[in-house]
Amino acid sequence: MSEETAEKRSWRDVPRRLWMRLPARRRRWIVRGGVAATVLALILLIPGYVGSQPGFIGHYSNFHAQYQTWSRSAHAEVPCQRCHVSPDLFSRTTFNLKMIGEVYISPIARSRQPKVLSSPTNAACQSCHIDLRTVSPSGDLKIPHRAHVGVLGIKCVKCHAYLVHGKSPEGSNKPRMVTCLTCHDGRKAKNACVTCHTNKAAPAGHRSAEWLVIHPTQQAKLDCAKCHAWTAHWCKDCHSRRPPTHVAKWRTTHGLRVKAHRDCEACHQASFCVRCHGEVPKLNFDATVKLVQ
């Protein structure tokens, strides 16, 4: 045996020699501790890791659809509990313990639908999104996040409801303008275009007292979609609401309004008039007015 080989073997024997120098009782306690740690890992740590994985949570039927949309989203690298469990130690620990139990329960209760995830809190969002934006990526939209979140206490998910789990009715993951308008209605908060937009303002014609009457004649002059395309059917969305003039006495007063301006056909089919008049009234009839569909 060469001197070099003997030296290497000597170094390899050091742990064994140190181990043998320990009292037998201490060696037994160390062995028992190692076995206990291994058992603990098998019972708690490994199931805890498995149960916290999105793939495990996604196999439940009540989370399957959300798992599919999450896996295709920009948050696909973010585990479920990062958003849906409060970031404090107690909440995270409680979640992990629950999921350990789910790992053991799921094989014998395959139809089980656990409720272990809640709506994301602002604290969960801000655990990653520390730098609150003040403008949209396009630069057109002002986003005073600190005013909305810090001062007013608005929940992030109120605006960002379609961020991960599905697209909005408009087909995007962006906040919906209709959500903004629930507050920005001109009373609770300002509703002027320039309040939120940097390069959009209501044209001068929109401020005319007769705008609601004459706006159909202005479509060829203005690019309506520039501002109104945030909803798929902007004309219908407005025309499907009862106009403020159609109050309780409208049935007795609408004849006088028709004498001033006739645009019933924008919302009503001919059969609607026939039900009361027996025919389509010819007074001020404008064949160019088309039904909004």
Please report, for the chain, the start and end positions of each structural domain, with discontinuous segments joined by +. 16-117, 131-200, 204-277
pLDDT of residue 36: 82
Q: In this structure, what token pair is assigned to residue 151?
A: 């001062």
Instruction: Report, in this order, helix, strand and coil percent for the chain, each rounded to 5.
Output: 50, 0, 45
Across the range 197-205, mean pLDDT stands at 84
- CA–CA separation, 100 vs 44, rounded Å? 7
How do residues 36-90 score in pLDDT, each as one tens digit? Answer: 888 877 777 888 888 889 999 988 888 889 999 999 998 999 999 999 999 999 9
Q: For residue 239, give the nearest of 219, 259, 221, 264 by alpha carbon.
A: 264
How do residues 97-153 score in pLDDT, each as one tens digit? Answer: 999 988 888 888 878 888 889 999 999 999 888 877 787 877 788 888 888 988 899
- CA–CA separation, 11 vs 100, rounded Å? 42
pLDDT of residue 239: 82
Please write down the long-range contacts of 187-196, taking CB distance under 8 Å and 24 or more positions apart.
193/227, 195/142, 196/141, 196/142
Report yes or no: 60 and 155 within 8 Å, Cβ to Cβ: no
Buried-state track 12-32, b at ≥16 Cβ within 10 A, e below 16: eeeeeeeeeeeeeeeeeeeee
> What is the overall mean pLDDT for the chain?
84
